[in-house]
């Protein structure tokens, strides 16, 4: 059954920006009152529902509360459910729609209808997930919940990625980040294929930006075997895990990776590149995918 998605046009702050007055102090000219664009950060509540095929009884569970920048909520939900391994395939989502909730901002509570078989397959680790904008695994209560429940497969072709393309990616991503340009307060994630920037997502949470991006790529069937995830900041374990689950073999970041991120790149033979600048970058694993490397 094709997934149904509600129209979310009721949100007036779709650009993710709120404008406030501020006082700017300058040592030479003193105080000035100005408008300041700020990135919006609001809670997103996700509830899951499914119907028992025998009794026809409908079950609803509150699954997640995550702090995010509003916009691309449906893509964020798809990517989050997939990366948290609540679903194994996108056709297990039957519908995504705004919940009828008088106690919550109508645009901040979404209801996801799951295939009943997948809903029953969920274990206790996937039934509760709470995160902050700064941390995508803060709600995880055991190391088991961090383990991968599915087979990981990434493209192992060699010498297909040009070093000049890698060096250019951060600037190309930055040029397509209007929310960061306006506020300076969000993270960006981009997806490149065949040397072109295919999609971009922004959010106050770096993990949310990646989930929004992956949700869109998978929903619109844009993922390619030799695609590249580009991050505007550092690389953590959870971001490498999201890339691995989506089958993305190469991760390029402006900042540094954590040790656990490097370990994950080695485990799944992914290419991990950090501290990427115009004329240099660091390869932490997977140099065989790059060509023109001497």
* Residues 93, 97, 101, 104, CA torsion sign: positive
End-to-end CA distance of the chain: 51
Is there a contact between 45 and 108 (Cβ–Cβ < 8 Å)? yes
Q: Does domain 161-291 have CATH number 3.40.140.10?
A: yes
25 known ligand binder = no
* Helices marked H in the chain: 73-83, 116-121, 163-174, 178-183, 206-219, 237-245, 259-267
Structure confidence at residue 103 (pLDDT): 63
Structure confidence at residue 3 (pLDDT): 65
pLDDT (tens digit per residue) in 176-207? 999 999 999 999 999 999 999 999 999 999 99
279 known ligand binder = yes
Pairing of strands 58-68, 17-26: unpaired
Cβ burial, residue 3 (10 Å; 0-12/13-18/19+)? middle
Read off the pLDDT of each residue in 276-282 and give the average, rounded to a whole number.
95
Structure confidence at residue 293 (pLDDT): 73
pLDDT (tens digit per residue) in 19-66? 999 999 989 999 999 999 999 999 999 999 998 888 889 999 888 899
Is there a contact between 126 and 136 (Cβ–Cβ < 8 Å)? no
Which residue has 């993922």 as its token pair? 223
Structure confidence at residue 116 (pLDDT): 83
Q: Which residues of 151-179 are buried (b: 16+ CB within 10 A; e: fewer)?
A: ebebeeeeeebebebbbbbbebbbeebeb
Residue 7: band (very low, low, confident or very high) from pLDDT cuts 50, 70, 90: very low
Q: Which two tokens stand for residue 253?
A: 């970041």
* Helices marked H in 110-177: 116-121, 163-174
Query: Could you give the CA distance from residue 3 to residue 263 in angstroms, rounded to a whole number?
Result: 36
pLDDT (tens digit per residue) in 10-21? 333 458 999 999
Q: Which residues of 236-275 are buried (b: 16+ CB within 10 A; e: fewer)?
A: bbbbbbbbbbbbbbbbbbbeebbeebbebbeebebbbbbe
User: Average per-residue pLDDT in the chain?
Assistant: 87
Structure confidence at residue 224 (pLDDT): 96
187 known ligand binder = no
Query: Could you give the CA distance from residue 201 to residue 44 in angstroms, rounded to a whole number?
Result: 17
Q: Is the pLDDT of residue 105 over 70?
A: no
Give which of 237, 280, 230, 287 is closest to 257, Cα–Cα: 237
277 known ligand binder = yes
Residue 134: band (very low, low, confident or very high) from pLDDT cuts 50, 70, 90: low
Active-site option among 65, 121, 135, 168: 135
Query: Could you give the CA distance from residue 210 to residue 208 in angstroms, rounded to a whole number?
Result: 5
Query: Could you give the CA distance from residue 70 to residue 291 in angstroms, rounded to a whole number?
Result: 39
Query: Could you give the CA distance from residue 209 to residue 190 in angstroms, rounded to a whole number?
Result: 9
Higher pLDDT, 4 or 207: 207
The residue ranges of every structural domain in the chain are 42-146, 161-291
Q: Is the pTM of this model over 0.85?
A: yes
Please indicate whether residue 135 is annotated as part of the active site: yes
* Helices marked H in 72-162: 73-83, 116-121
């Amino acid at each position: 059954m094709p997934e149904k998605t509600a129209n979310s046009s009721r949100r007036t702050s779709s650009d993710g920006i709120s404008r406030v007055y501020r006082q700017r102090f300058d040592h030479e000219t003193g105080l000035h009152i100005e408008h300041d664009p700020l990135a919006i950060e609001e809670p997103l509540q996700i509830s899951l529902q499914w119907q028992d095929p025998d009794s026809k009884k409908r079950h609803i569970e509150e699954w997640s509360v995550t702090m995010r920048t509003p916009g691309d909520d449906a893509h964020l939900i798809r990517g989050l459910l997939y990366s948290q391994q609540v679903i194994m395939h996108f056709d297990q989502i039957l519908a995504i729609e705004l919940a009828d909730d008088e106690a919550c901002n109508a645009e901040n509570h979404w209801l996801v209808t799951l295939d009943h078989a997948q809903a029953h397959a969920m274990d206790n680790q996937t039934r509760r997930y709470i995160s902050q904008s700064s941390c995508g695994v803060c709600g995880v209560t055991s190391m088991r919940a961090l383990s991968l429940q599915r087979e990981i497969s990434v493209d192992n072709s060699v010498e297909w990625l040009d070093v000049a393309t890698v060096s250019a990616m951060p600037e190309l991503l930055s040029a397509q980040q209007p929310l960061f340009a306006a506020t300076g307060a969000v993270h960006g994630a981009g997806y490149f294929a065949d040397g072109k920037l295919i999609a971009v997502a922004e959010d106050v949470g770096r993990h949310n930006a990646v989930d929004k991006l992956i949700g869109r790529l998978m929903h619109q069937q844009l993922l390619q075997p030799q695609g590249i995830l580009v991050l505007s900041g550092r690389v953590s374990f959870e971001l490498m895990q999201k890339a691995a689950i989506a089958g993305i073999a190469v991760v390029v970041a402006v900042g540094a990776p954590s040790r656990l991120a490097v370990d994950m790149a080695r485990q799944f033979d992914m290419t991990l590149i950090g501290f990427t600048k115009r004329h240099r970058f660091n390869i932490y694993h997977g140099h065989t995918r790059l060509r023109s490397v001497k």
